[in-house]
Structure formats: C-alpha cells, structure tokens
Amino acid sequence: MAVVTKYVVVREGIEKMTFTSKKEADAYDKMLDIADNLAPFLAESELEIDEVTCEKLSFYLAQHKELLLNLLKGVVPQKPETTEVKKTSKKAEAKNVGTKK
C-alpha cells in the first residue's frame, strides 16, 4: 500500500485543483488570488463585458502574469527559438537538395 500526499486548493468550499507538491499548489493559489483581484478592476472599466467574460479574462491575465508584466514595462516579447531553428534547417535542406546529384 502506497501513501500519497496531495495538496488541494480549495476556494469558497470548492476544490479547484489537486497537486502533488506544495510549491505547485501555492503557485496556483496565488494565481487565483491575482485573478480575484483583477476581476473587480476589469469590471470597473468602461468595457461592457459580462461577469463570465470578466472572470475568464482575469483568469487568463493571471495565468500569463509574467508576459503581462513585461508588456506593461514595454518589453517586446521574443519569438520562440524553435521557429528560427526550423527555418534554418529548411534552408540547409534546400541547399543540400540542390547540391546532391
């Protein structure tokens, strides 16, 4: 018989998510706190969005807080390196195809 420790994030008596590490559970709980704080901020805006959309938007922004913080600081997001590697390898393949006989 195995003993498994689980960390459960509970909000308003409802289980939101279960994790195997305390660090992950704490990070998720913090993200939910941020989303809870963003919802009233968005609701007070001049945007006419319904409550469900407001909650979804606040959750999305909280999930991507690092990117959002960088955007607010004026930092331009960089494209992933994987696309550059694919482009380079395609060019290399094209050169190799043209030289092979």
Give me the number of domains the chain comprises.
Answer: 1
Domain presence at residue 80:
no
Q: What are the CA-CA distances from residue 73 to residues 61, 66, 76, 91 (Å)?
A: 15, 11, 9, 36
Per-residue confidence band for 101, with pLDDT thresholds at 50, 70 and 90: very low
Per-residue confidence band for 77, with pLDDT thresholds at 50, 70 and 90: confident
Domain presence at residue 12:
no
Q: In angstroms, rounded to a whole number, what is the distance separating the alpha carbons of residues 32 and 37? A: 9
Range of the domain at 55: 26-75
Q: What mean pLDDT is predicted for residues 48-63? A: 93
Q: What mean pLDDT is predicted for residues 42-59? A: 91
Domain presence at residue 43:
yes
Domain presence at residue 62:
yes
Domain presence at residue 58:
yes
The answer to whether the beta carbons of residues 22 and 30 sit under 8 Å apart is no
Per-residue confidence band for 63, with pLDDT thresholds at 50, 70 and 90: very high
Domain presence at residue 31:
yes
Q: In angstroms, rounded to a whole number, what is the distance separating the alpha carbons of residues 61 and 100? A: 51
Q: What percent of the chain shows pLDDT beyond 90? A: 52
Residue 57 has pLDDT above 50, yes or no: yes
Domain presence at residue 59:
yes
Domain presence at residue 50:
yes
